[in-house]
Structure 1
């Protein structure tokens, strides 16, 4: 069932984390923070919404890096119930799609809970002070292929954050598959 993200809570501070990456390194939020902003994205490998946007996310992350905005992707899904989201499959997914940013494994799901992540993909766009400025969607395409003139909402919002430290006040929530939580 499709889930929507909540409205942006402007100024909410990014919780810190330290997680393993598919490249064998361990990353902290402080080390990943960009000089003009940071984009934290909760994704997974099997979600049709993620699969539909992943190549555009890689494109946008590459272009945002040139503006001083760093991107990090985190997979928090329960790999016991969704084996396609295992750490080994995460490595393959990142390589297959040419990730230019760290892809981290949140096996405990503590980071997803700290961020109150709702779905995959779930975009958290922070300014240079790690204050939330964007909690919208990548673009209007959802699970469909993007048309040639689709507005790049995430990219435009994070470009604005990089330039002004403020996100747009009008944001459309992201939609995707729910986070696959472990049984209590």
Structure 2
């Protein structure tokens, strides 16, 4: 009996691991060092926004985020501050909401417009309805950050992951991963830390 239970447990674990690996392989996305793909998505102001719209940008801070995730809300002011601090230095924030609105109605465009206006967003807040951009980048959480650096006519991925080391209280932040990465790039160097696991809510994907 014990052997049978152990065998069943082992099989279940194996199936679970294979399932997780399969899910991850479907959404591998970009890695540090890759050339990032461009995109064009609708903004809360009704206009279409693409990375090509920013002729003077030295790079971008692309952040997959949303209205509804508690982690995204905790990081909201920090995202605003990132844009205020670095957009003038050539690294603007581009926020993208990829959540399936049938599962999260609070992430619909109208709700995004309300949130952007109420919080005074200084950056585009784009809607990725088809989730093609999130999948291409390999985003899995909200928030999930990609720091891109311009190299000629290409955008190179230099950092992927968390904004900092405190997903709860800003007062507890001791390591500012995104800021450190941008500062290094502005100094003509490569970031010392190129990836940190993003902590947040799982992106609400459309059903297959």
Does TM, scored on the shorter chain, surpass 0.5?
A: yes
Contact 1:128 1:165 in 2 (8 A): no
Question: Which structure would you say has the larger Rg?
Answer: 2
Q: 1:105 aligns with which of 119, 127, 131?
A: 127
Task: Give 3-state SS (helix, strand or coil) of 1:27's partner.
Answer: strand
Cα gap change, 1:179/1:34 in structure 2, threshold over 3 Å: closer, same or farther? farther
When you count helix as a share of all residues, which structure comes out higher?
2
Q: 2:53 aligns with which of 25, 31, 34?
A: 31
* Cα deviation, residue 54, structure 1: 0.6
Contact 2:177 2:193 in 1 (8 A): no
Cα gap change, 1:11/1:176 in structure 2, threshold over 3 Å: closer, same or farther? same
Task: Give 3-state SS (helix, strand or coil) of 1:175's partner.
Answer: coil
Stretches of structure 1 that go unaligned for 5 or more consecutive residues are 1-5
* Cα deviation, residue 84, structure 1: 0.6
* Cα deviation, residue 137, structure 1: 1.3
In structure 1, the residue matched to 2:166 is: 141
1:169 aligned onto 2:193: yes
Stretches of structure 2 that go unaligned for 5 or more consecutive residues are 1-27
State how many pairs are aligned: 179
For 1:44 and 1:159, the matched residues in 2 are separated by: 26
Cα gap change, 1:34/1:78 in structure 2, threshold over 3 Å: closer, same or farther? farther
RMSD: 2.1
Cα gap change, 1:170/1:80 in structure 2, threshold over 3 Å: closer, same or farther? closer
Contact 1:36 1:163 in 2 (8 A): no
For 2:193 and 2:50, the matched residues in 1 are separated by: 29
Q: 1:12 aligns with which of 27, 30, 34?
A: 34
1:39-54 equivalent positions in 2, closer than 5 A = 39-54=61-76
* More relative contact order, 1 or 2 (CA 8 Å, 6+ apart): 1
Q: Which runs of 4+ in 1 moved over 3 A?
A: 148-151
Tell me the TM-score normalized by structure 2.
0.79
For 2:135 and 2:182, the matched residues in 1 are separated by: 23
Tell me the TM-score normalized by structure 1.
0.89
Deviation digits for residues 96-149 of structure 1, max 9, x if unmatched?
Answer: 22211100011111111111111100100011131000113111111x222166
- Does 21-30 or 149-158 show the bigger shift? 149-158
* Cα deviation, residue 150, structure 1: 3.3
Task: Give 3-state SS (helix, strand or coil) of 2:187's partner.
Answer: helix
